């Protein structure tokens, strides 16, 4: 598409949306991290609902770490005022998790001191931060000119002919910042986000159809069309077939894993069986011990042979006593009478 035509379409889109909606850009002046959380709530949602959702997060949770460790279901209950609470909860949790993993803290203020290009590149490295969030922070907090466009906004711009299918799939809108000046970037972003919200909410609405055709008359061919019963049935059958195929694939993988475990267990059993005979050889040495006991039993014979000597020695003791008596009598005899 020629750039002049694209620029004219964007200018016309801004003019038509300004007449249709009274949406104003959010006037919140928050720190960078808090602005990111607000962007997660604002994506494809009205500004009023996003402000309520952000206030609910601040009121119901102690700090951002408690929000990070909460489940998506718990956060979705808190963000029930948004059009898609589960998607917003996943964005909030993912953004906080990526920031914490990168900095081990919930603080992005140092990015303001860096060059805009460097800061934007660092924000893009956070996997949990969407392109909408990066553009919103660049536009509102870093002083750059980067209009945030959600998935619904990309679809709307494709329908009116601003971008083609490749650019939509790549999530790029070439020439957007050239067509919309910086001083009108916040306003255009808020109006486009409101239109995206209305479109995602009811894509077949006659009001939305009329609005888009007022911007581009040739948008009729690119407008979403209601599916026939045959198409719905075909899609349902295809979904069921895909689920069945996935279940079969999962069962086959589990069966294969089970066989591998059984083979591994059998191999381990064979290895242990080979090592068992070496352990059985040990009792043979223990059985040799009784032979020692037999030799020990033979000692009583020696004791029996040795006992007569001891008895003979004991018998000799009276002779010694008699000799002692003789010596004492001799001594007494030698003594002279007084």
Instruction: Give per-residue pLDDT as tens, 294-335.
Output: 444 545 555 555 454 444 444 445 555 555 555 555 555 555
What is the residue-averaged pLDDT of the chain? 82
Is pLDDT above 70 for 277? no
User: Looking at domain 3-222, what is its CATH homologous superfamily?
Assistant: Hypothetical protein; domain 2 (1.10.340.30)
**In this predicted structure, what is the pLDDT of residue 2?**
45
Is pLDDT above 70 for 336? no
Nearest to 192 by CA among 248, 137, 153, 225: 153
**In this predicted structure, what is the pLDDT of residue 300?**
52
Is pLDDT above 60 for 278? no
**In this predicted structure, what is the pLDDT of residue 312?**
46
Residue carrying structure tokens 């030799």: 295
Q: Cβ of 162: how many Cβ atoms within 10 Å?
A: 26
3-state helix, strand, coil in the chain (%, to 5): 75, 0, 25
pLDDT (average), residues 151-170: 92
Are 5 and 29 in contact by the 8 Å Cβ rule? The answer is no
Is pLDDT above 70 for 266? yes
Integer Cα distance of 181 and 268 in angstroms: 72
Integer Cα distance of 192 and 194 in angstroms: 5
CA distances from 310 to 299, 305, 318, 320, 321 (A): 16, 10, 14, 16, 18
**Max CA distance (Å), the chain:** 170
pLDDT (average), residues 168-172: 90
**In this predicted structure, what is the pLDDT of residue 317?**
52
Tell me the pLDDT band of 284, cut-offs 50, 70 and 90: low
CA distances from 124 to 104, 117, 188 (A): 17, 11, 23
Which has the higher per-residue pLDDT, 107 or 271?
107
Q: Does the pTM exceed 0.85?
A: no
Which tens digits make up the pLDDT trace of 11-66?
999 999 999 988 777 766 889 999 999 999 999 899 999 999 999 999 999 999 99
Which has the higher per-residue pLDDT, 171 or 2?
171
**In this predicted structure, what is the pLDDT of residue 38?**
94
pLDDT (average), residues 256-274: 84
Separation of first and last alpha carbons in the chain = 164
Residues of the chain above pLDDT 90, percent: 44
pLDDT (average), residues 140-161: 92
Tell me the pLDDT band of 234, cut-offs 50, 70 and 90: confident
Tell me the pLDDT band of 291, cut-offs 50, 70 and 90: low
Among 86-100, 147-161, 274-288, 300-314, whose mean pLDDT is lowest? Answer: 300-314
Would you say how long the chain is, in residues? Answer: 338
**Domain assignments of the chain as residue spans, ordered by start:** 3-222, 229-280
Integer Cα distance of 81 and 78 in angstroms: 8
Is pLDDT above 90 for 193? yes
Measured at the alpha carbon of residue 322, what is the angle toward residues 316 and 324, in degrees to the nearest 5? 110
Among 75-89, 93-107, 141-155, 295-309, whose mean pLDDT is lowest? Answer: 295-309
Integer Cα distance of 155 and 159 in angstroms: 6
Which has the higher per-residue pLDDT, 303 or 157?
157
């Amino acid at each position: 598409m020629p750039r002049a035509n694209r620029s004219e379409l964007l200018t016309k889109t801004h003019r038509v949306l300004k007449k249709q909606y009274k949406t104003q850009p959010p006037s919140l002046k928050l720190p960078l991290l808090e602005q990111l959380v607000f962007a997660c709530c604002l994506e494809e949602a009205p500004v009023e609902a996003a402000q309520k959702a952000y206030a609910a997060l601040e009121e119901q949770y102690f700090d951002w770490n408690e929000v990070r460790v909460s489940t998506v279901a718990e956060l979705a209950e808190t963000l029930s005022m948004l059009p898609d609470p589960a998607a917003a909860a996943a964005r909030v949790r993912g953004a906080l998790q990526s920031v914490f993993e990168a900095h081990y803290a919930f603080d992005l203020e140092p990015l303001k001191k860096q060059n805009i290009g460097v800061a934007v590149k660092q924000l893009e490295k956070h996997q949990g931060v969407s392109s909408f969030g990066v553009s919103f922070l660049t536009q509102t907090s870093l002083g750059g000119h980067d209009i945030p466009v959600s998935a619904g906004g990309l679809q709307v711009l494709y329908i009116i002919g601003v971008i083609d299918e490749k650019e939509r799939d790549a999530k790029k809108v070439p020439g957007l910042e050239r067509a919309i000046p910086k001083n009108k970037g916040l306003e255009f972003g808020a109006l486009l986000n409101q239109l995206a919200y209305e479109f995602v909410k009811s894509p077949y609405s006659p009001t939305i159809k009329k609005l888009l055709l007022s911007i581009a008359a040739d948008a009729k061919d690119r407008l979403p069309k209601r599916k026939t019963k045959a198409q719905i049935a075909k899609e349902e059958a295809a979904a069921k077939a895909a689920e069945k195929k996935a279940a079969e694939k999962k069962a086959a993988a589990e069966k294969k894993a089970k066989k591998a475990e059984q083979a591994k267990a059998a191999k381990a059993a064979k290895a242990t069986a080979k090592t068992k005979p070496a352990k059985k050889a040990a009792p043979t040495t223990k059985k040799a011990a009784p032979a020692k006991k037999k030799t020990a039993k033979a000692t009583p014979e020696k004791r029996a042979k040795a006992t007569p000597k001891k008895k003979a020695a004991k018998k000799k003791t009276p002779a010694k006593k008699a000799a002692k008596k003789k010596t004492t009598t001799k001594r007494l005899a030698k003594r002279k009478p007084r």
